[in-house]
Amino acid sequence: MNLRPEEISSVIKAQIKRYESKLEAKDVGTIIQVGDGIARIHGLEKCMAGELLEFPGEVYGMALNLEEDNVGAVLLGSDEHIKEGDTVKRTERIVEVPVGEAMIGRVVNALGQPIDGKGPIKSEKFRPIESEAPGVIDRKSVHQPLQTGIKAIDSMIPIGRGQRELIIGDKQTGKTAIGIDTIINQKEENVICIYVAIGQKKSTVAQMVKTLEEHGAMDYTIIVSASASEPAPLQYIAPYAGCAIGEEFMYQGKDVLIIYDDLSKHAVAYRAMSLLLRRPPGREAYPGDVFYLHSRLLERAAKLSDELGGGSLTALPVIETQAGDVSAYIPTNVISITDGQIYLESELFYSGQRPAVNAGISVSRVGGDAQIKAMKKVAGKIKLELAQYRELAAFAQFGSELDKDTRERLDQGQRLMEILKQPQYKPIRVEDQVMIIYAAVNKYLKDIEVEALGRYEEELLEFMRNNHPEVGTTIKETGKLEEETENRLKAAIEEFNKLFLEKEKDRA
């Protein structure tokens, strides 16, 4: 094919006319200092606080310090291959995580990337990790119960959907166990659970995933893990990432439970980052905004108004104390932010009282409105009776001569303490709790040996299920213990007590 010169020139001219020159301006900076997971960057004049920055070698960072002549950024990965003089690009977006149904059942890191070996997460939607908490008008008062399945908590320190209840205690007192039991108990409650592991061993997280899988709880649970071996910035953003994942479901009108385990390690990671960024230290070397660190996270838990779909995000933050000192800096901060606390005591734990809940110091400031009427009716006296028991038990150590009334109160207190014991990973349905606590409070256990109460509880609940299922069903459906139901329950307990005492005689 022969082209004439004028044809060639006309084609070239046409192409020149169609050509549009596009100038692409990119805001880039140069690293002037790097080390300890921190980079100082010259340039990036339009950089935003909390913006995601792109470093060489597919490493990302987060801008935290915006100074006059440089930007202080924390690296969300290894700084091994990053050196002075390298170029850093802006991404022009705030750090965000994938959200949505695809996350359920997965174990992800603080950036929402899967770490469970089950392939990529197909999520279309992203949410920034930091977002504004719902305002006063957007909220509704807490009124629905969130059942933990733990007798000591559901009866005395009830938790409502949208509440923030702190779990506080020394190490090895069963704080995580309460969180895991609560997740397992949500199986039939239609609640999506998120567990954020901050600074924990990978083996501990793996064991927990296995436990949840065994109980079928991973079908509605997401685990966000920033383990102890990961850089402090990832531990710092993990709870915010977990919260963003939960908020997506909350704004869809669903109920969500999130557990932050634990915020003490979160504060330590933030302190390490702040000191490396040369922020001025305050009390216990924590930066001045460590209160705001936790308040802006926990304020995002809410029960939304009906106009916004009525969803809820319930937060159970965990704090580890040193030698039972709840008046330290971080514990007092988080106590003042939350709507109550469950205080676990090592003395109770080692004496065999598990869960080791100290009912005297533990409170739930808004949960009372969320408790079902049946539980409110039967459990009203428990706290007072236990407080009297503890006081009398302290005096009884000194005096051997006790009057009949004191002996009866001590016996009753002992039986109440025994009935509040519960094995791990065995949450109890609320209607069953009402029946067993009713028997304990109304002194139906006074003839039963303390050692036999564990057996008594199991057999009573089995007896009720087999012979009087309507009692449990009525409590579950109405949430009330009406006179007719109460009379049936009384008669059933009296009938069972005769059978049980005869069986115990034969056993002896």
Both tokens of 11, joined, read 């084609």
172 is in an annotated binding site: yes
173 is in an annotated binding site: yes
d(CA 164, CA 144): 14
Interstrand relation of 340-344 and 166-169 (parallel, antiparallel or unpaired): parallel
171 is in an annotated binding site: yes
* 419 SS3 class: helix
170 is in an annotated binding site: yes
User: Is residue 93 among the annotated active site residues?
Assistant: no
- Rounded to the nearest angstrom, the gap between the alpha carbon of residue 212 and the centroid of all alpha carbons in its chain is 15
53 burial class (0-12, 13-18, 19+ CB within 10 angstroms)?
buried
The residue assigned the tokens 């469970």 is: 116
Interstrand relation of 59-66 and 51-55 (parallel, antiparallel or unpaired): antiparallel
490 is in an annotated binding site: no
117 is in an annotated binding site: no
Give the start-end residues of each E strand in 117-220: 125-128, 166-169, 191-198
d(CA 383, CA 369): 17
In this structure, which long-range contacts are made by residues 376-383, counting pairs with CB atoms below 8 Å and at least 24 apart in sequence? 377/481, 378/155, 378/434, 378/437, 378/438, 378/441, 378/481, 379/155, 379/156, 379/437, 379/441, 381/441, 382/155, 382/156, 382/416, 382/437, 382/441, 383/156, 383/359
Q: Phi and psi dihedrals of 229, rounded to 5?
A: -85, -5
Q: From the candidates 93, 278, 283, 365, which is the catalytic residue?
A: 365
Count other Cβ atoms within 10 Å, centred on residue 374.
25
Q: What is the CA radius of gyration of the chain?
A: 29
Count other Cβ atoms within 10 Å, centred on residue 46.
9
The residue assigned the tokens 């020149």 is: 16
d(CA 21, CA 116): 47
Both tokens of 472, joined, read 């449990």
Q: Which residues are catalytic?
A: 365
Which residues are documented as binding site?
169-176
Residues belonging to the binding site for ATP are 169-176
